[in-house]
Amino acid sequence: MVYKIGLLQKVKLHLIRGGVIAYPTESCYGLGCDPYNYKAIRSLIKLKRRDKTKGLIVIAGKNHQVDKLIKPLDDDTATELKQYWPGAFSLILDIKPNIPSNLSGKHKSVAVRVSKQKQVIQLCNYLDSAIVSTSANKSQLKSIKTYRECLRKFGNKVLVLPGVIGFAKNPSKIINLKTKQVLR
């Protein structure tokens, strides 16, 4: 499925206004918002009933879409990213100081992923930005897998985009790039 320009324009305006969206990712529907909007992030955390100290994942369609978010990478690290992205790996990277504190929770870093999922790529490329990506569910409950189920659970609170999730059975692996520790 390819999103029509009218829907993408609606999504962009919704995000600019601080709204939350739901969209298909590699393994489930995700909830997202503008990663630079403190109030939007707060709304998303409240909607999920998520512990605000945990921090969130940010997803992009291309590597450069996370440049405003993370500290500059040295050449070796930038080269190392090629073995993970695009793909189902969320990498813990240091964030710049001007990023909303509720995006990273208690951390000075954030998990970042560059996706292979076509609708995520199209959405992020249209926005020319990364977006927040956390599973569409209340904390500790099962992830939502379908558009219809997402509409039922969140339709009156978020803008739900149509689509079909990818074929991944599990959420992305989260890896601390510095230590190589697998966190999930």
Q: Where are the domains of the chain?
A: 5-176
Residue 2 to residue 34: CA distance in whole angstroms: 21
What is the CATH topology of the domain spanning 5-176? DHBP synthase (3.90.870)
Residue 83 to residue 61: CA distance in whole angstroms: 16
**Is the Cβ–Cβ distance between 22 and 30 less than 8 Å?**
yes
β-pair type (57-60, 29-32): unpaired
- The side-by-side arrangement of strands in the sheet containing 159-160 is 159-160, 21-24, 29-32, 131-135, 57-60, 109-114, 89-94, 173-176
Q: Helix, strand or coil for residue 142?
A: coil
Assign 167 a pLDDT band (cuts: 50, 70, 90): confident
Is residue 168 predicted with pLDDT exceeding 90?
no
* 9 alpha carbon, distance to own chain's centre: 19
**Is the Cβ–Cβ distance between 18 and 39 less than 8 Å?**
yes
Is residue 105 predicted with pLDDT exceeding 90?
yes
Higher-pLDDT residue of 8, 167: 8
pLDDT at residue 184, rounded to an integer: 87
* Bridge partners, 2 (sequence order): none
Is residue 33 predicted with pLDDT exceeding 90?
yes
pLDDT at residue 37, rounded to an integer: 98
CA distances from 91 to 58, 72, 112, 147, 182 (A): 10, 14, 5, 27, 9
Q: For the chain, what is the mean pLDDT?
A: 95
pLDDT at residue 39, rounded to an integer: 98
